[in-house]
Structure 1
Amino acid sequence: MSEPGPLLDRAAIQEAFRRLGDRLARRGVVADIYVIGGAAMALAYDSRRSTRDIDAVFQPHGIVLEEARAVAVEIGLPPWWLNEQASAYVAPGGDATAPHVFDHPGLRVSAASPEHLLAMKVLAARRRDAEDISYLVKHLGLSNTAEALALCAAVFPDEPVPDRARMILEDLLGES
């Protein structure tokens, strides 16, 4: 990714998905997309949230990427608006409670559950995720760092929690 693209809010993401779904349906394809990161926040939890790209895991791979690039040209998005760059951060056990956030004859989209999103963002330990972490902690009714860390361990049992993540949580929860 070279230069930043436009900010995509919930309506812009839905429009891009509608166009992608139209293109896939015309080709007789029904794709499944699991979104994480900012797009999941915007679609499922915080309608005011926006993002520059959509981090996702999708099937079938090739045709979705091909049609996503065509949508990019159609509506002026960067070619990487839909990407799998964060797919390495998806929990290995799946996400059984991922809510469906967009349905179309050519496209089914689900978003990471709040538990999975929180665990991903905590383990990434980026200050820029602080607002999302705070929102998700409240959304899940967690009251302290120990509860948040236990959730992270349940979602990613083989991932050690960085010290920086613990410090961010303690700071956000007023425990520092």
Structure 2
Amino acid sequence: MKAEEIKQYLSELNDELRLVDIKGEVSLYGGAVMCLAFKSRPATKDVDAIFEPIRAVRNAARRVAERHNLNIDWLNLAVEMFVVDHARQVLFDFSHLKVFVPEGDYLLAMKVLALRPDTFDTADLEFLLKHLKIKSPGEVVGIVENYYPKKTIKMETMSLLNEYFEK
């Protein structure tokens, strides 16, 4: 999904919620944030999010999916178990849907812990390191520990970070 398509689908999600007079919230994560908020890549395969009210938003998302021949889980809760308390900003404020994105440092912490080397994760990580003006692996570790104090960064990811900062 391209950034423009995601925005269109979210707008249609708002329209669906308006039809049933329900106000909803969607917090975006992952590739959707990289596309829409940071404009660092053109597309993502799906939209990882947390949303409320779950049933109403899921039903509205299903109708959008049917209309555009999308996977039924184009808007999914797969990220839900990984999300901890963090600051967020409003990206879109539609009449019946408010769309949020996390601060860059939180997204960086998530990317570091979930890094899959053969995906967009590596490019996303490099973008966020530059965007946030991170100068060392120690800064990255500090950010991760701030949000996820009990999580350990994989050795492979630490090697990648060390390599990045040696450039």
Report the TM-score when normalising by structure 2.
Answer: 0.94
The residue aligned with 2:108 is 118
Judge conservation of contact 1:29–1:106 (CA < 8 Å) in 2.
yes
- Structure 1: give runs of 5+ residues left out of the alignment: 1-7
Runs of 4+ aligned residues of structure 1 deviating over 3 Å after TM superposition are: none
Maintained 8 Å contact 1:38/1:54: yes
Tell me whether 1:150 sits opposite 2:142 in the alignment: yes
Task: Give the structure 2 partner of residue 17 of structure 1.
Answer: 10
The Cα shift of 1:172 comes to 2.3
Distance 2:99 2:132 in 1: 22
Matched, 1:29 2:31: no
For residue 109 of structure 1, report the CA deviation from its aligned partner: 0.5
Q: Does 1:83 align with 2:76?
A: yes
**In 1: Cα distance, 2:61 partner to 2:163 partner:** 39
Tell me, yes or no, if structure 1 residue 74 matches structure 2 residue 67. Answer: yes
What's the offset of the Cα at 1:47? 5.1
* TM-score where L is the length of structure 1: 0.89
Aligned match of 1:54? 47
Once the two structures are TM-superposed, the CA of residue 48 in structure 1 deviates from its matched residue by: 3.5
* SS of match in other structure, 2:98: strand
Give the corresponding residue for 1:174.
166
Unaligned stretches of 5+ in structure 2? none
